[in-house]
Amino acid sequence: GAGVSQSPRYKVAKRGQDVALRCDPISGHVSLFWYQQALGQGPEFLTYFQNEAQLDKSGLPSDRFFAERPEGSVSTLKIQRTQQEDSAVYLCASSLERLGNTIYFGEGSWLTVV
């Protein structure tokens, strides 16, 4: 596609519910990133994939957060047993390869945990 596509755009989850957020990167982009943006804050790094390999997951806030990219294209960020503090916008981004290329962001998935 023309840009990074994320779904759902908006998700309301009850506390304790599991959610899955999908990212479809720009075709051919090797690198894929997930960021979390809390209200009024800048995006914070969660995890990074190069093709299907998850090379960095240092930003994942707890073991309730899990990301995968099994075939090196579409990625899913899963949050188990959601908590209110998980409410945020989850941004996916992709680039041709590692740093040195422009990183393109999707419009985000807005998660509200009630």
Binding region for another protein (CB under 8 A)? 4, 31, 33, 35, 40-45, 48, 50, 55-56, 58-59, 91, 93, 95, 98-100, 102-108
Minimum gap (Å) between residue 76 Cβ and another protein: 18
- At 84, is the secondary structure helix, strand, or coil? helix
Place of tokens 């740093």: 99
Q: What CA dihedral angle connects 14, 109, 77 and 66, to 10 degrees?
A: -50
Minimum gap (Å) between residue 109 Cβ and another protein: 10
Minimum gap (Å) between residue 92 Cβ and another protein: 9
Looking at this protein, which amino acid is placed at residue 104?
A: Y
Q: Closest CB to another protein among 10 and 62?
A: 10
Strands 10-13 and 88-95, by their bridges, are unpaired
